[in-house]
Amino acid sequence: MTGLDLWDSLIRVAQASNEASGEVVGQAVACCTKAILWHIARLSESDADKTEISKVRRMINLFMEIAIGYLDNPSKRLSYESFLSVCDLLVVLSRHLAVHLPSLRSLVYTADRELELKLTNYLERRVFVDDEEEEEEDENAKFESLHERRTQLAAFCKLVIYNFVPIRAAAPLYKYYIRSFNDFGDIMKSTLAKSREINRIHTARMIAQCLQLCYNELEATSNGHVEHGSEGLQAVKELARRLNLSFGLDLIKIRGAMVAFHSEGIQFCVASAAAA
């Protein structure tokens, strides 16, 4: 990259998903990410003019549009590389870039609500999958698959704990807290702990939103009527218990968080009753 700018060639390959294999295009996506990082590093080391900064901004916009579009691509390799690229660039291009390098303020790229949902939807499809859904029979392949899934989850959780996306964005993921605990429990517990450090009240609301999602899914599979003693509802209650225990037992310390949690629950019940 230092002797020759390969961007034009790389981006052409990255756009050729209909002509090249997912493996090839995925590698091009990964290389495009490195090319963008190299350009940003070069800009940070010198007094770059506005023309050069604008050029890099166009590169970022084009690449992010391409990579985000690949999140639901059927090729696992292509969607994997695209997901990691988007998460990595959201870290590098966060608002902290403008703080440390004011001249590069125009390069800041922030995830909107639509992108947050695309990232969590991706994780639900590709990371939180049941073991029987995995096609690999070889133990080494299964281990590698788990490693990649953990890498993807950690990449998104990094966005949460560094406050690059709001805590609420993690709500859909905690539906899987218990059932995926063996594979991802350490990552999810750490993210929950860091989220509490950032803001206990926002974390409590995120948990309430997670439980609402679980209940809505349960209601949808029960034809709109959830039996109080049903196995599904008991699972939601157990999830609520496990997640709320993470706040600890100091009632004075967690009072604000518990008020927020129950307030969210009451509003959900009132809204559900009004819609019935």
Residue 1: band (very low, low, confident or very high) from pLDDT cuts 50, 70, 90: very low
Residue type at 259?
V
Measure the CA–CA gap between 195 and 205, rounded to whole angstroms. Answer: 11
Residue 191: band (very low, low, confident or very high) from pLDDT cuts 50, 70, 90: very high
Q: What is the pLDDT of residue 2?
A: 46
Q: Closest by alpha carbon to 198, among 233, 174, 165?
A: 165
Measure the CA–CA gap between 136 and 142, rounded to whole angstroms. Answer: 6
227 vs 257, higher pLDDT: 257
Measure the CA–CA gap between 18 and 130, rounded to whole angstroms. Answer: 30
Compute how many other C-beta atoms are within 10 angstroms of the C-beta atom of residue 14.
Answer: 28
Residue 3 has pLDDT above 60, yes or no: no
Q: What is the pLDDT of residue 48?
A: 75
Provide the angle, in degrees to the nearest 10, between the axes of the packed helices 22-44 and 50-69: 150
Q: Could you tell me the pTM of the whole model?
A: 0.91
Residue 199 has pLDDT above 90, yes or no: yes
List of residues 6+ apart from 256 with CB closer than 8 A? 200, 201
pLDDT digit string, tens, across residues 5-63: 689 999 999 999 888 899 999 999 999 999 999 999 999 887 778 899 999 999 999 99
